[in-house]
Amino acid sequence: MSKLLEIDNLHTQFFTSAGTVRAVDGISYDVEEGETVAIVGESGCGKSVSALSILRLIPNPPGRIVQGSISFMGKDLATLSDEEMRKVRGREIAMVFQEPMTSLNPVLTIGLQITETLQQHLGIDREEADKRAIDLLGKVGMSDPERRLKQYPHHLSGGMRQRVMIALALSCEPKLIIADEPTTALDVTIQAQILELMKNLTRELGVALIIITHNLGVVARYADRVNVMYAGKIIESGTAEDIYHRPRHPYTLALLKSVPRMDQPRKAKLDPVDGQPPDLTKLDDGCSFRPRCGFAIDKCNASIPNLESVSDGHISACFEKDKLTQALEASS
Amino acid sequence: MWQYIAKRLLLMIPTLIGAAILVFFLLRLIPGDVCELRLAGSGLYVDPAEIELCRNNLGLNDPILWQFLSFITGLFTFNFGESMFTGRPITYEIGLRFELSLQVAIMATVTATVIAIPLGTISAVKQNTWIDYVVRIFSIAGIAIPSFWLGIMIILGLLIFTQAWFGTAWMPPIDYVPIWEDPMRNLSQLIWPAVATGYRYSAVATRMTRSTLLEVLREDYVRTARAKGLLEKLIINRHALKNALLPVITIIGIEFAFLMGGLVVTEQVFNLNGLGKLFVESVLNQDFSMTQALVMIVVIVFVFTNFVIDVMYAWLDPRIRYS
């Protein structure tokens, strides 16, 4: 497999009246062809911003990519002209958003919203585009796709709309799909259907997928690799297996502990991550997780730990990662 | 869609009846009497018997419900009767002026729309650039400047500049000719009031277009359109404007209806014999029959404009069409 996307030292900042928000603060990761990569973290840790940065959809002002490169199939997206970037969007990298209820235009038909993308990128005529749209809607499991073309978003339920969004994302056969919390706004039963659908379709078509989520269950089932983000940085990265069974960062560990478990007694209390995520306008020279960390030492106040390898393909940014291993072994 | 239109049309009837009841009874609460004004308006002594006779002739001494009934039946047969003050048929008096007012209102609306939607769009798309500032100054000025003052300035400007450039001062014609008789003369008279009122009108609509478009441009579906890699032109025209235009259409419609009866001062400035002037005169003269007819005409224009707005809403927004 070869590298499809290489993000290197990406910084995205928002310049607001309250100060500079360092929403994405130097993240680097790769996505290989056909791979599913999950980005996990609490709300406000920079997951969505990092994803929007790839497509350069950060509203400017106030936001801007201030540093770093986003290399996609050999070209640096950060330096493309607006017109070249437009040709990448939807054609080579597509996006599925969190809110299916508001992400489709309420006054345009489903058909138009799919075919306009096809016509824009592939230069095919109306009839051809209609045919492809019907095909796509069938593929994402919508009944009676011909009739759907003439319907408006308000005729469809949330799950159906998200299927339309997926059809839209797949329409031009992109190399990469970025899904920003694609199931957060949906019912639990629908969530599973949508995730299953995305997994199958991306696998079948060989599309790489970046899935942004705060749902660790999703991660375990669908992701090949997992990047855990905290305060704008990737603090741990590894295979789903590594992250789940051998976490090497106290934040990852805390996240895993906070997931309700079916094998615990029903009355057992949840174990949340204590404290609040830091204010991204006031980051200092120390590790940003230390106020909430049970393993913090003096060194954590003075310098930010770098991502270091713990095993093949598994990296963690913690000074005490070895102690964490011992603690885990002791508890099990 | 047809069902929706039919429903809207039926809803017009109660509105019209309500307006008729209100105007009829409110007018009769105003102190004063048209016959006294007509006969003794110049200060001469008039025999009370003569005034009484005049009131009898005009039907003002009939029972009030009887008067109301005859007004309503008149409405339905489109026969408003004669003016109580001048004695001429009301349809004739109004007909003279309706044409002029309608033409000014249409011209002002076209001017305003043609200016407002592109300007508002540019202003929103280029938010916080110099072009946005220029548009905003232009539109704030339009709201701040009264149209009658602008009208006076236009007339003065025309006089001064034609004098300076062509040697003879030119002023727009002051007598009205219908557009089909002499289009050049008609337009050279009416274009100025249309510009004077259209400017303020366009300023309101520009600001509305700008602010609603700015709101829409932050919507998720616009981000989706961007993420699909659509051309910016398509994103604005197809995705954003279609959503942003709804409130703008309302503003344009209401302003249009207002122009039909509310241009009192501007008509004075340009010496136009329009509905606004007739309106004021009829109220001053206690000319019940005329005021009633005029109010009903304006109400009909308002109700009809609202109907057109509703239909356009449904055309633009499918959620309204199907609910």
CB contact under 8 A, B316 and A107: yes
Q: Which residue shows structure tokens 């359109």?
A: B225
pLDDT for A311 equals 79
Q: Which of B227, B239, B322 sits opposite A105 (nearest CB)?
A: B239
Name chain A contacts of B322, Cβ cutoff 8 Å. 152, 154
CB contact under 8 A, B319 and A154: yes
Q: What is the pTM of this model?
A: 0.82
- Around Cβ B189, how many Cβ atoms within 10 Å? 23
Q: How many Å lie between the alpha carbon of A127 and the closest alpha carbon of chain B?
A: 19
pLDDT for B134 equals 94
Distance CA B12, CA B174 (A): 37
Name chain B contacts of A57, Cβ cutoff 8 Å. 223, 226-227
Residues of chain B with pLDDT under 70: 40-43, 322-323
| Structural domains of chain B, ranges and CATH numbers in brackets | 94-272 (1.10.3720.10)
- Kindly state the percentage of chain A with pLDDT values over 70: 96
| Structural domains of chain A, ranges and CATH numbers in brackets | 3-92+174-331 (3.40.50.300)
pLDDT for B41 equals 66
Name chain A contacts of B127, Cβ cutoff 8 Å. none
CB contact under 8 A, A168 and B318: no
Name chain A contacts of B224, Cβ cutoff 8 Å. 95, 97, 103-105, 165, 168
Name chain B contacts of A15, Cβ cutoff 8 Å. none
Tell me the Ramachandran region of residue B43: left when phi exceeds 0, alpha when psi lies from -120 to 50, beta otherwise: left
CB contact under 8 A, A87 and B231: no
Q: Which of A87, A102, A108 sits opposite B220 (nearest CB)?
A: A102
pLDDT for A332 equals 56
- Which residues of A lie closer than 8 Å to B, measured between beta carbons? 55, 57, 59, 86-91, 94-95, 97, 99, 102-108, 116-117, 120-121, 152, 154, 165, 168
Q: What is the ipTM of this complex?
A: 0.85
Distance CA B94, CA A153 (A): 49
Q: How many Å lie between the alpha carbon of A153 and the closest alpha carbon of chain B?
A: 9
Q: What is the 3-state secondary structure (H, E, C) of chain B?
A: CHHHHHHHHHHHHHHHHHHHHHHHHHHHHCCCCHHHHHHHCCCCCCCHHHHHHHHHHHCCCCCHHHHHHHHHHHHHCCCCCECCCCCCEHHHHHHHHHHHHHHHHHHHHHHHHHHHHHHHHHHHHCCCCHHHHHHHHHHHHHHHCCHHHHHHHHHHHHHHHHHHHHCCCCCCCCCCCCCCCCHHHHHHHHHHHHHHHHHHHHHHHHHHHHHHHHHHHCCHHHHHHHHCCCCHHHHHHHHHHHHHHHHHHHHHHHHHHHHHHHCHHHHHHCCCCCHHHHHHHHHHCCCHHHHHHHHHHHHHHHHHHHHHHHHHHHHHCHHHHHC
CB contact under 8 A, A103 and B238: no
Distance CA B70, CA B68 (A): 5
Q: Which two tokens stand for residue A110?
A: 């489903």
Question: Order of strands across the sheet with A225-230?
Answer: A93-96, A176-180, A208-213, A36-40, A225-230, A233-239, A314-316, A308-311
> How many inter-chain contacts (A to B, CB under 8 Å) are there?
79
- Which residues of B lie closer than 8 Å to A, measured between beta carbons? 218-221, 223-232, 234, 238-239, 242-243, 316-319, 322
Name chain B contacts of A168, Cβ cutoff 8 Å. 224, 228
Peptide bond before A62: cis, by omega within 30 degrees of 0?
A: yes
Q: How many Å lie between the alpha carbon of A151 and the closest alpha carbon of chain B?
A: 9
Q: Which of B231, B316, B317 sits opposite A120 (nearest CB)?
A: B231
Distance CA A150, CA A256 (A): 45
Comparing C-alpha atoms, which of B251, B272, B260 is closest to residue B300?
B260
CB contact under 8 A, B230 and A90: yes
pLDDT for B114 equals 92
Span A62-101, pLDDT tens digits: 888 888 888 888 888 888 888 888 888 888 899 988 888 8
Q: Which of A87, A102, A107 sits opposite B317 (nearest CB)?
A: A107
Residue A171 and residue A114 in contact, taking contact as beta carbons nearer than 8 Å: yes
Q: Which of A59, A90, A99 sits opposite B228 (nearest CB)?
A: A90
CB contact under 8 A, A89 and B239: no
pLDDT for B42 equals 66
Q: How many Å lie between the alpha carbon of A206 and the closest alpha carbon of chain B?
A: 20
CB contact under 8 A, B227 and A89: yes
- Using CA atoms in the order A202, A207, A212, A213, what is the torsion angle rounded to 10 degrees? 20
Q: Which two tokens stand for residue A63?
A: 């936001």
Comparing C-alpha atoms, which of A95, A50, A85, A74 is closest to residue A207?
A95
Distance CA B163, CA B174 (A): 19
Q: For residue B242, give the chain A residue with the closest CA.
A: A107
pLDDT for B140 equals 93
Q: What is the 3-state secondary structure (H, E, C) of chain A?
A: CCEEEEEEEEEEEEEECCEEEEEEEEEEEEEECCCEEEEECCCCCCHHHHHHHHCCCCCCCCEEEEEEEEEECCEEHHHCCHHHHHHHECCCEEEECCCHHHHCCCCCCHHHHHHHHHHHHHCCCHHHHHHHHHHHHHHCCCCCHHHHHCCCHHHCCHHHHHHHHHHHHHCCCCCEEEEECCCCCCCHHHHHHHHHHHHHHHHHHCCEEEEEECCHHHHHHHCCEEEEEECCEEEEEEEHHHHHHCCCCHHHHHHHHCCCCCCCCCCCCCCCCCCCCCCCCCCCCCCCCHHHCCCCCCHHHHCCCCCEEEECCEEECCCCHHHHHHHHHHHC
Residue B115 and residue B206 in contact, taking contact as beta carbons nearer than 8 Å: yes
Name chain B contacts of A117, Cβ cutoff 8 Å. 228-230
Q: How many Å lie between the alpha carbon of B221 and the closest alpha carbon of chain A?
A: 4
Distance CA B254, CA B251 (A): 5
Distance CA B167, CA A282 (A): 72
Residue A222 and residue A211 in contact, taking contact as beta carbons nearer than 8 Å: yes
Name chain B contacts of A154, Cβ cutoff 8 Å. 318-319, 322
Q: Which residue shows structure tokens 């509305």?
A: B208
CA distances from B207 to B119, B195, B203, B254 (A): 9, 18, 6, 15
pLDDT for B119 equals 93
Name chain A contacts of B319, Cβ cutoff 8 Å. 106-107, 152, 154
Pairing relation of β-strands A208-213 and A176-180? parallel
CB contact under 8 A, B227 and A94: yes
Q: Which of A94, A107, A168 sits opposite B318 (nearest CB)?
A: A107
For testing the chain A interface, which of B1, B125, B216, B221 should be mutated: the one with the most A CBs within 10 Å? B221
CB contact under 8 A, B227 and A97: yes
Residues of chain A with pLDDT under 50: none
CB contact under 8 A, A108 and B317: no
Q: Which of B221, B228, B238 sits opposite A89 (nearest CB)?
A: B228
Q: How many Å lie between the alpha carbon of B97 and the closest alpha carbon of chain A?
A: 41
Q: Which of B221, B243, B322 sits opposite A104 (nearest CB)?
A: B221
Name chain A contacts of B316, Cβ cutoff 8 Å. 107
